[in-house]
Structure 1
């Protein structure tokens, strides 16, 4: 990303730029700008926008600030950004204009959705997804945390995952982070025949479930 980006009509960056400081973000975005057509090309960024106006109605306000702390703790220069900070890096990357569309989630696959809900609600949600996909060759992809239950102290995100679990307890009615055993329960109760879990270098894992 720092040296080149393949030519494309659009470049999609999802939870990439918050890992980097302003200088690195500007370099990445400039390479993205070089990769897209001058007319009708676009760069699509899915990332958090921290509220700076004290909007207490934003249900994700505390989670966004917590993620900013996680970036500070687990990256060298990464951070979540306010609209003003996004404006700075985007303009420094020589883009002429941009629009921001808020979505009702931290990210925009089911990504960081199910941990907002208890087991009963998760099972209902997953059953609806199962009804929506074909019986063969399709899957539901869940990106969410899997809490370690074996006391693996060498896992770098262990404390962060437990902190996220505490946030869910504080800011939702029934939400929680889940262990492998918990995920196995809700997935099977939703009627899926099998699932695979792939750990990624982040607080989440990728869980693929199959009809």
Structure 2
């Protein structure tokens, strides 16, 4: 694949050539490019979170939360992304990874690219009809379009993890299995910490 072609088709190439796309992105782009991708992706994630969430007790305030996410999300998301990238960078040292923090940040922007196409679809749907957006049964039976979009979201979530592995492996010049554990170890630690905090909370309350 030619580099100049990849410049134009990065949204497509990340699906089929995540390693090459990551390599090109690390060579040609900066913190600001990655932060921009993450900021736009955060808006997509906002709508993905509320899609088909009719059983969410907070859905009545979805508009307020939506505006909050649109205004604050693109600012906080790149900062939060830097924190998680720093965690991945630290763990990558255990596997003799060669990436810098900057390269890790840029590499982890690759899976964020996958959710961006959802922004115009879900954002437009949310604005046009919030009720059908959050409730697949709004018109009586199960909405076929909502079902297909839900399946697409699941596929993208799975492929995002695979792209993350490829991106981490390329940035650090390590194997795919090592990259898998670079991702899994921080995520597992975060889950353990959250569960421990929740357990302490319930013990204190009850």
* TM-score, structure 2 normalization: 0.26
Structure number with the bigger relative contact order (C-alpha 8 A, sep ≥ 6) is: 2
More helix by share: 2
More strand by share: 1
